[in-house]
């Protein structure tokens, strides 16, 4: 029997964040194919370089070494990293987007609309004039987040 994205409960960040160890994968066993237009971002990724305003931010930038696990199934994507578990559907709605907490304090509620646009995973926090994107660049992942763009390599 197939296990689709609809059959797996939506995950959320535990109170106070998940701590030092990432929780078990959310979409394990899900065998629904990715929706059309979705880039295959699945894997464990580590930030290896960071650019700010087009310049290398150096090895001491706080994002260096940051790990992200990306899971995908159907139109669903779960990004786990930095203590948070952000589980969303990339359907352009607030209801099915990220409805969780912010990474900076693990308690401020956030609502983020998620889409796939021209092979790019795009996040738009409701009420804020910003975009966060993830896209493949060859064998690496480019993550544009607020004030920087990070290049991530597969960590496992």
* Alpha-carbon gap, residue 15 to 54, rounded angstroms: 36
% of the chain with per-residue pLDDT over 70: 99
Q: Tell me the pLDDT tens digit for each residue of 1-46.
A: 578 999 999 999 999 999 999 999 999 999 999 999 999 999 999 9
Residue by residue, DSSP assigns 47-74 as: EEEEEETTEE--TTSTTTT-EEEEEEET
Mean pLDDT of the chain: 96
Q: Tell me the pLDDT tens digit for each residue of 96-153.
A: 999 999 999 999 999 999 999 999 999 999 999 999 999 999 999 999 998 999 999 9
pTM of the model: 0.95
């Amino acid at each position: 029997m197939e296990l689709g994205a609809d059959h797996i409960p939506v995950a959320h960040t535990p109170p106070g964040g998940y701590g030092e160890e990432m929780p078990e994968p959310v979409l394990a066993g899900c065998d629904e194919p990715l929706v059309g237009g979705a880039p295959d971002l699945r894997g464990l990724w580590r930030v290896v370089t960071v650019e700010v305003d087009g310049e290398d931010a150096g090895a001491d930038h706080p994002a260096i070494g940051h790990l992200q696990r990306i899971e995908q199934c159907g139109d669903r994507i779960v990004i786990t990293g930095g203590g948070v578990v952000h589980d969303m559907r990339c359907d352009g709605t607030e209801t099915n987007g990220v409805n969780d907490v912010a990474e900076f304090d693990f308690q401020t509620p956030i609502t983020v609309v998620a889409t796939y646009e021209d092979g790019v995973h795009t996040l738009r926090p409701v009420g804020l004039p910003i975009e966060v994107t993830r896209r493949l660049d060859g064998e690496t992942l480019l993550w544009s987040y607020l004030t920087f763009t990070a290049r991530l390599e597969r960590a496992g």
